[in-house]
Amino acid sequence: MKNLKTLTLTAALALGASGPLYAEKLHFIMCGGEIRDADQSVVDAFEAKHDGVSVNIEAIPWGTCQDKSLTLAAAGDPPSVAYMGSRTLRQLANNNLIVPAEISQDTISAYQPGILNTVTVKGTRWGYPRAFSTKALFINCDLAEAAGAECKAPKTWDDMYALAKAINDNTDAAGVGIAGKDFDNTMHQFLNYLYSNGGVVIDPQTGENKLDSSNTRETLAFYKKLVSVAQEGPTAWERSQLKDLYNDGKIGMYIDGPWGRGQHKEGMNEITVPVPAGPNGDNGTILITDSIAVFKGSGHEEFAHELAGMLTTGQSQYALDTEWGLTPIFDYEKLGFDAPYYKGDAYWQVFVNGIGAGGPEPLVEDFKSLQSVFTNMIQGVILDDDTVDNLVTIAGEELDEAL
């Protein structure tokens, strides 16, 4: 009996010791600072499918997340997968830190137009698109009406300015909220206006820098005009903070993604409308995606591809889009969804209709420098540091250097 006990104990110890030898642990960096239910449930299913394989999800806030992923990869200790802004893909790919995505043909054909361009560099897809957004203008109708204006969609920049000025002059609130902090969404917000004025940053065919243009000058000049009816000190605010001012009735309108409605006060009297058209364009929006990148050299690329695939297909993608209120990344009807959440909903149509007319987030090697070029130009006009002409000329030159 004693021998049997010893044998059993030895066997148990041996099994226990051998477990970790065969175990695989995937490191999943999740930018955004929280683990979403839609992601966690897929990870749980993945772990259940693969005995001995576990996934360590590390949620990191946006401000530092992409730097951490890049630094880890450059230092030779890459994460297995990372959910990050697609703008980082070019830099990661050019430095041989990630491997191309393996997206199935069925999935490819179901993506909304323009989505795959956000992860494609020289014909190769480097990420699995996971989250997608377009932008629209939210207007607080209580403030508009209190200012004696009609609460309706401004068609042009002039209409928008007139409404913002009315709110600014006739209520305690500022007319419009502008993001001007040294942060990526300062550039994103500007691009919404630039694309609504027919502007281009980089020529998609030639890769040429097209920032220094009359469209950019007009857009920056409009920004200057908006600043006069905007909240105090836009350079201290980034987009996600503007919703607090909006909820408190301190700004009359601002641009945000489709998740905005869920973050606003319940029962708020508001309308959501396309970004008004500039003098040389039509209603536009920036198309932004976040993607899942599979890193090179983690030792579990196969598992990482499988996990990325599971996260970004069919039901799991639909779960994320609905849970987080994101612009649909797929044309879900093509995937067999009969009545997707956006179908026939006027709110969602504003965001879905913008997809076709949207412009991409420029995919460059050095995205931090790109961001810095835009922030410098925008802050320059907000702080009245220089003329619109000079600021755009300088930005064009700086972008040449960054490219």
Residue 401 CB, nearest distance to other proteins (Å)?
11
**β-strand pairing of 98-99 with 286-295:** antiparallel
Distance CA 244, CA 401 (A): 37
In the complex, what is the shortest distance from the CB of residue 45 to other proteins, in angstroms, rounded to a whole number?
34
Closest CA to 105 of 290, 294, 307, 313: 313
Specify the residue for token string 């899942």: 292
Which CB atom, from 177 or from 359, has the smaller least distance to other proteins? 177
Q: Is 337 exposed, middle or buried (0-12, 13-18, 19+ CB in 10 A)?
A: middle
- Which residue, 355 or 392, is less far from other proteins as judged by CB? 392
Other C-beta atoms closer than 10 Å to the C-beta of 268 total 14
Would you say 260 or 380 has its CB closer to other proteins? 380
Closest approach, Cβ 343 to other proteins, in A, equals 39
Determine which helix (DSSP H) or strand (DSSP E) holds 68, and give its type and residue range. Answer: helix 62-74
Alpha carbons 334 and 241: distance in angstroms, whole number = 36
Please report, in angstroms and rounded to a whole number, the separation of the first and last CA atoms in the chain.
Answer: 76
- Residue 263 or residue 379: which is nearer to other proteins going by CB? 379
Summarize as ranges the residues that interact with other proteins (CB under 8 A): 67, 70-71, 74, 91, 94-97, 180-182, 231-237, 244-245, 248, 250, 366, 368-369, 372, 375-376, 379-380, 382-383, 385
Closer by beta carbon to other proteins, 187 or else 382: 382
Rg, C-alpha atoms of the chain: 24
Q: Give whichever of 9 and 74 is closer to other proteins, judged by the CB atom.
A: 74
Say how many C-beta atoms besides its own lie within 10 A of residue 335's C-beta: 17
Smallest separation (angstroms) from other proteins to the CB of 236? 4
CB of 97 to other proteins, least distance (A): 7
**Cβ 99 to other proteins, closest distance in Å?**
16
